[in-house]
Amino acid sequence: MTTTIGILGAGKLGTVLAQLTTAAGYHVLIAGSGHVAKIQLTVEVLIPAAVPTTIAEVCHQADIVILALPLSKYQTLSPAALAGKLVIDAMNYWWETDGNREDLTNTHYSSSEQVARYFHKSHVVKALNHMGYHDLFDEPRLQGQPGRKAIAIAGDEEKYVEETVKLVDRLGFDPVRAGSLADSGKMEPGSAVFGANVTKKELKKLLTDFSKTKYGQ
Amino acid sequence: MTMDSRQIIFGIDSFGDLPQNEDGKLMTQAQAIRQVVTEGILADNLGLDVIALGEHHRSEYAISSPETVLAGIATQTKKITLASGVTVLSSDDPVRVYERFATLDALSNGRAEVVLGRGSFTESFPLYGYDLSDYNLLFEEKIELFTKLLTEKAVTWSGKTRAALTDVEVYPKTERGRLAARIAVGGSPESVVRAARYGFPITLAIISGSPKRFVSYVELYRKAAQKFATQAFPIGIHSHGVIAESDEEAVDLAWKHIRKSFVRIGKERGWRPMGKAQFEKEVKNGSIYAGAPETVAQRLAATIKQLDAGRFELAYGAGELPVQARLKTIELYATKVVPRVKELLAKE
Ligand SMILES: NC(=O)c1ccc[n+]([C@@H]2O[C@H](COP(=O)([O-])OP(=O)(O)OC[C@H]3O[C@@H](n4cnc5c(N)ncnc54)[C@H](OP(=O)(O)O)[C@@H]3O)[C@@H](O)[C@H]2O)c1
C-alpha cells in the first residue's frame, strides 16, 4: 500500500517537500492555513500529483505528517487529530515570522521537545529543517550518486527515526542520525548545522563539532 | 510568449550598499547615496533601461527613501526608467506611495515605476509601528487600495489598516494616465497568485539556488492571470552579480563581497556561513552572476530563456564592493554583456 504523506503548510518549504514526496512516489496531501481554494491553483501547477485539502483531512488521512508551518503556529493544530502518527517536525524558530517568543528561544529545551510535548500522543521526529528550501529542491540525488547531500534526523523512538531515515533516503538525501529530541538543539538556527547543504561526512563532522560551538556550551 | 530579444529590458539594482572608496575606506551613507546617483547617470548614458533602488532601514544600506534618490537621478537623465525595488507597501501608506511616485513621474517626464513587495527584511514594520504578523492583511488591503489609486480616478475605499476614503481625488495626476507598477516576489507561491489576481507584472527575486526552480512559478503566474482574467506580463528577474575583465577577478570579488553580504544577513537568521562549495555552485549555475562579460552573458541568456523573461536586473555592489568595481560592473554589463545576451537570444 502506498504511504500517504500529509504536509501542513503550503508555503516555501511545504510546496518543495510536496514536490519531493510526490516525485518519490508517495501519495501526498497538503494544506495551508485557510480554505482549500487558496492553494488549489498553486498545487495544481507546482505539485500536480498532490491533493490540496483541509488541515483536518490531512491529519485524518495521512500516515506520516510533516509540519511545515511557522513554529509559532503549531499549537493551532489538534494533538488528538495527530494521535498515533509519525509527525516530522521541520519547523524552526525565526523571530521575523514568529515574533519574539521567550518560550521558543529558551536553551533548556529544543523546540522539537516542546512540539513533542504538545503532540504527546504522536511520535515526533525532527528532520528536514536545516536545509534551505531552494537547496532541498536542487539537491536530491539517487543513493550512491556522488555529492549526495545529507539531512540530520533526531528522535527518541527508534522505530520512527528508522521510518524517517527511509523517507529521507527516498527523497534523495543521505540520512544522518543526530541523536534524541533533546539533542536536536544542534540542528536549530544558530548551530553549525543550520543551513547546511553538505555531504554525510561533513554533516556528521558538523554535528560532532557542536560541543565546541557557542550554542553547544 | 517568447520575447523578441531586442525588447528585453536590462537594468541595475541597488539598495544603496556602502562601497569602499579607492583607499579601502567605507563611504559614508551620504556619499553612498551620491554614488548611486552617479551610477544612475552612468547607466542612462550607457543605454541601460532601468535603475531600481530598494527601501531598507539598516546600517549597511543608505537608501531608505528610494524615490528621493530617484528624483536626484531624474533631473540628470533622459531615458532610463526610475524604479523602486522594492517599496514596502505593507508598512507604508498607499496614498503617499502614489503621491511620491506620481511626483517622481512628473520630474522624470514619465519614467517612474513603483515596485511593491515585502523585500528581504522586516525592519520597516517596527520602525513605522506595524506588526509583522499582520503582513498578509496589510498587503492585501493596501494593494487593493493602491490598485484603485492607479486608475487616477476618485477613490472610495475602506478597510482595517488605514482611514477610509470616500470619493477622494489624489494628486498629482500623471501625464501618462497611469503609473507603471509591478510586484516583486520571492519564493512564496501565494504572492505570485496574488500579483496575478491584481493584474500586476511580477519580478522574481532569485537570490539563491537554480533559476530552474522558478519555471513552475512563471507557469503559475500565467495560469493565475488566466483564471482571474487579468493580463500576464513578461516576467522580470532580479539577481546578484559582479562583472570584471576576467572570470577570476570577478569570482574573487563575488567571494569577498557578495558572499560577505549573504553571510552577514544569514548570521542574523542563524544560518551557517556559505561555504566554498555552495558559493561555487551559485556561481556555476545558481543565482550569482559573476565572471567576465562572455561568462555572464552566457549564463544570463540561459536564465532568461529558461524563464522566458522579459526583463533582467543585476543587483550590483553588495557587501561593500569597492566603487571602482561597481563602476566597472555597470560599464561591462551595459557595453558588453547586454548586447551579447541579445545576440545569443536572437540566434535561437
Ligand atoms: N524556507 C525554508 O527554506 C525552510 C527550510 C526548512 C524549514 N523551514 C521551516 O518551515 C516552516 C515554514 O517555513 P516557510 O519558509 O515555508 O514559510 P512560508 O512560506 O511563510 O509558509 C508557511 C505556510 O504555513 C501555513 N500556515 C500558517 N499558519 C498555519 C496554521 N495555523 N495551520 C496550518 N498552516 C499554517 C501558511 O499558510 P497561509 O499562507 O495560508 O497562512 C503557509 O502555507 C517554518 O517553521 C520554517 O522555519 C523553512
The CB of A143 under 6 Å from ligand 1? The reply is: no
Q: CA nearest B233: which of B21, B9, B58, B82?
A: B9
Report which protein residue has its CA nearest ligand 1's atom 7. Answer: A129
| Residues B314/B241, Cβ–Cβ less than 8 Å | yes
User: Which ligand 1 atom sits nearest the alpha carbon of residue A14?
Assistant: 16
Interface residues of chain A, partner chain B, Cβ below 8 Å: 10-12, 15, 32, 38-39, 41-42, 44-46, 92, 94, 96-97, 99, 132-135, 137-138, 188-198, 206
Decide if B270 and A189 are in contact by the 8 Å CB cutoff. Answer: yes
Ligand 1: centre distance to CA A17 (Å): 11
DSSP state of A191: S
Quote the ipTM score: 0.90
3-state secondary structure (DSSP) of residue A176: strand
Query: Which of A66-80, A100-114, A127-141, A179-193 bottoms out in mean pLDDT, i.e. has the lowest?
Result: A100-114
How far apart are alpha carbons B326 and B10 in whole angstroms? 16
Q: pLDDT confidence of B346, banded at 50, 70, 90?
A: very high
* Residue B295 structural domain: 5-184+235-347
At position B173, the amino acid (one-letter code) is K
How far apart are alpha carbons B265 and B119 in whole angstroms? 13
Query: Is B213 part of any domain?
Result: no
Q: Which cell numbers in the block locate residue B195?
A: 500579483
Query: Is B326 part of any domain?
Result: yes
Query: Is B298 part of any domain?
Result: yes
Q: Nearest Cβ partner of B271 from A39, A194, A198? A: A194
Contacts with B210 from chain A: Cβ below 8 Å: 134, 137-138
Report which protein residue has its CA nearest ligand 1's atom 41. Answer: A33
The CB of B270 under 6 Å from ligand 1? The reply is: no
Q: Is the pLDDT of residue A99 over 90?
A: no
The CB of B189 under 6 Å from ligand 1? The reply is: no
Tell me: the pLDDT tens digits for B215-234?
999 999 999 999 999 999 99
Contacts with A137 from chain B: Cβ below 8 Å: 209-210, 213
The CB of A94 under 6 Å from ligand 1? The reply is: yes
With a CB cutoff of 8 Å and minimum separation 6, the contacts of A108 are: none
How far apart are alpha carbons A112 and A141 in whole angstroms? 27
In chain B, the residue whose alpha carbon lies closest to the alpha carbon of A45 is B220
Q: If you count DSSP H runs as helices and E runs as strands, how many of each does chain A have, helices first?
A: 9, 8
| Residues B196/B224, Cβ–Cβ less than 8 Å | yes
Query: Is B82 part of any domain?
Result: yes
Q: pLDDT confidence of B291, banded at 50, 70, 90?
A: very high
Ligand 1: centre distance to CA B347 (Å): 42
Choose the residue to mutate in A69, A115, A130, A149 for probing ligand 1, maximizing ligand atoms within 8 Å of C-beta: A69
Q: Which cell numbers in the block locate residue A196?
A: 547546511
The CB of B190 under 6 Å from ligand 1? The reply is: yes
Tell me: the pLDDT tens digits for B168-214?
999 999 999 999 999 999 988 999 999 999 999 999 999 999 999 99
Dihedral (C-alpha) A135, A138, A141, A146: value to the nearest 10 degrees? Answer: -80
The CB of A95 under 6 Å from ligand 1? The reply is: no
CATH number at residue B134: 3.20.20.30
Query: Is B160 part of any domain?
Result: yes
Decide if A195 and B272 are in contact by the 8 Å CB cutoff. Answer: yes
Look over chain B and give the mean of its residue pLDDT values, rounded to a whole number: 96
In order of their start, the domains of chain A are 4-212 (3.40.50.720)
Q: pLDDT confidence of B70, banded at 50, 70, 90?
A: very high
* β B112-117/A27-31 pair status: unpaired
pLDDT value of position A217 = 42
The CB of A76 under 6 Å from ligand 1? The reply is: yes
Our count of domains for chain B comes to 1
Query: Which of A47-51, A72-76, A160-164, B5-9 bottoms out in mean pLDDT, i.e. has the lowest?
Result: B5-9
Q: CA nearest A76: which of A28, A31, A138, A12?
A: A31
Decide if B270 and A11 are in contact by the 8 Å CB cutoff. Answer: no
Query: Is B241 part of any domain?
Result: yes
pLDDT value of position B118 = 85
Decide if B270 and A38 are in contact by the 8 Å CB cutoff. Answer: no
The CB of A29 under 6 Å from ligand 1? The reply is: no
Q: Nearest Cβ partner of B122 from A46, A96, A135? A: A96
How far apart are alpha carbons A163 and A20 in whole angstroms? 17
Q: What is the length of chain B?
A: 348
The CB of A8 under 6 Å from ligand 1? The reply is: yes
Q: Nearest Cβ partner of A189 from B186, B188, B269? A: B269
pLDDT value of position A94 = 85
In chain B, the residue whose alpha carbon lies closest to the alpha carbon of A189 is B270
**Rg of chain B, C-alpha, whole Å:** 19
Query: Is B293 part of any domain?
Result: yes
Contacts with B122 from chain A: Cβ below 8 Å: 96
In chain B, the residue whose alpha carbon lies closest to the alpha carbon of A72 is B133
| Residues B257/B320, Cβ–Cβ less than 8 Å | yes
Q: Which cell numbers in the block locate residue B329?
A: 560592473
Ligand 1: centre distance to CA A86 (Å): 19
How far apart are alpha carbons B254 and B258 in whole angstroms? 5
**Rg of chain A, C-alpha, whole Å:** 16
Cβ count within 10 A of residue B344: 18
- Residue linked to cell 529590458: B9
Query: Is B43 part of any domain?
Result: yes
Which burial class, exposed, middle or buried, applies to A133 when counting CB atoms under 10 A from its CB (0-12, 13-18, 19+)? buried
Ligand 1: centre distance to CA A92 (Å): 10
pLDDT value of position B329 = 98
Q: 3-state secondary structure string, chain B?
A: CCCCHHHCEEEEEECCECCECCCCCECCHHHHHHHHHHHHHHHHHCCCCEEEECCCCCCCECCCCHHHHHHHHHCCCCCCEEEECCEEHHHCCHHHHHHHHHHHHHHCCCCEEEEEECCCCCCHHHHCCCCHHHHHHHHHHHHHHHHHHCCCCCEEECCCCCCCEEEECCCCCCCCCCCEEEEEECCCHHHHHHHHHCCCCEEEECCCCCHHHHHHHHHHHHHHHHHCCCCCCCEEEEEEEEECCCHHHHHHHHHHHHHHHHHHHHHHCCCCCCCHHHHHHHHHHCCEEEECHHHHHHHHHHHHHHCCEEEEEEECCCCCCCHHHHHHHHHHHHHHHHHHHHHHHHHC
Tell me: the pLDDT tens digits for B129-151?
998 888 889 999 999 999 999 99
